[in-house]
Amino acid sequence: MKITVEKSCSVVFSRYKKESDNLNLKIYGNRIVSQKEIKFLGIKFDSKLNFNILVDKIKERCNNRLNIIKILSNKKWGLNQNTLGNLYKSLVGSILDYSFPCLNSFSENNIKKLQAIQNTAVRSILKLKYDTPSNIVHHEAFNKLKLLKVSNRLFELSERYVGTGLSHSIPVVIRLVKEYKEGFESRYIEYPTPLCNCYLTISSFFPET
């Protein structure tokens, strides 16, 4: 396998600016470009790993599709709430779901931005007033559309991913969980990752002795 220099780049991930930001890395004698962000498997990683750029991109993509939900929510289309809810899950929810591995790195403000997208859709589908309190919107979304809050949904996906990996004995998942479990308490406080959300799932496969 040969690495393509033109398609390669380097990114220094750090919350602090360091002199190593501009590393002189070379492949086959050619210097590779240093960047502040990189896109991998559809997810944009910024150098500070706060995912602000990713969340803004998610908002842009979702807002374009929200217009479809708003139009189809008009009574003249004759679509019921269940159909509109399923359309939301397919058109918008799928975009939010794809970001679940980054959950623990999202700031509270970014989570609120994602939740606002869902709230807008729910208000359109259920014909709720714009000033309806968020707690009522969340309650109605779950009762009538079976929609969890965005943070709870991402949490659920994290647990499901880890649980499925462990139940099918996926080597890389088992190895990561075992290594992580050795220092779980300290990592939970200082280095949050998606595995932090899965303590109960992990414990069911690796019971305390």
pLDDT of residue 17: 66
Q: Give the residue from 187, 106, 102 showing the smallest Cα distance to 202.
A: 187
pLDDT of residue 176: 80
pLDDT of residue 184: 56
Q: How far is CA 66 from CA 58, 63, 102, in A?
A: 12, 5, 23
Q: Which H or E element spans position 208?
A: none
pLDDT of residue 124: 94
Q: What average pLDDT does the chain have?
A: 84
End-to-end CA distance of the chain: 45
Average pLDDT over residues 96-117: 87
| 170 or 125, higher pLDDT | 125
Q: Give the residue from 172, 197, 205, 200 showing the smallest Cα distance to 100.
A: 197
Instruction: For residue 13, give every residue at least 6 positions away whose Cβ sits within 8 Å of its Cβ, in sequence order, or none.
Output: 45, 47, 48, 49
Strand 9-10, strand 26-27: pairing:
unpaired
| 1 or 93, higher pLDDT | 93
Residue whose token pair is 């880890």: 162
Q: Is the pLDDT of residue 116 over 90?
A: yes
pLDDT of residue 113: 93
Q: In whole angstroms, give the CA distance from residue 49 to residue 36.
A: 10
Q: Give the residue from 11, 91, 6, 81 showing the smallest Cα distance to 46.
A: 11
Over the stretch 13-63, which tens digit does the pLDDT of each residue have?
877 766 555 678 888 888 888 888 888 888 888 888 888 989 999 999 999
Residue whose token pair is 């969980």: 177
- pLDDT tier at 142, thresholds 50, 70, 90: very high
DSSP one-letter string for 113-138:
HHHHHHHHHHHHHHT--TT--HHHHH
Over the stretch 143-184, which tens digit does the pLDDT of each residue have?
999 999 998 998 888 888 888 888 888 888 888 887 777 765
Token pair for 137: 């919107």
Q: In whole angstroms, give the CA distance from residue 104 to residue 163.
A: 18
Residue whose token pair is 């980054």: 102
- pLDDT tier at 193, thresholds 50, 70, 90: low
User: Could you state, in order of their start, the residue ranges of all structural domains in the chain?
Assistant: 5-35, 52-147, 155-205
Q: Is the pLDDT of residue 188 over 60?
A: no
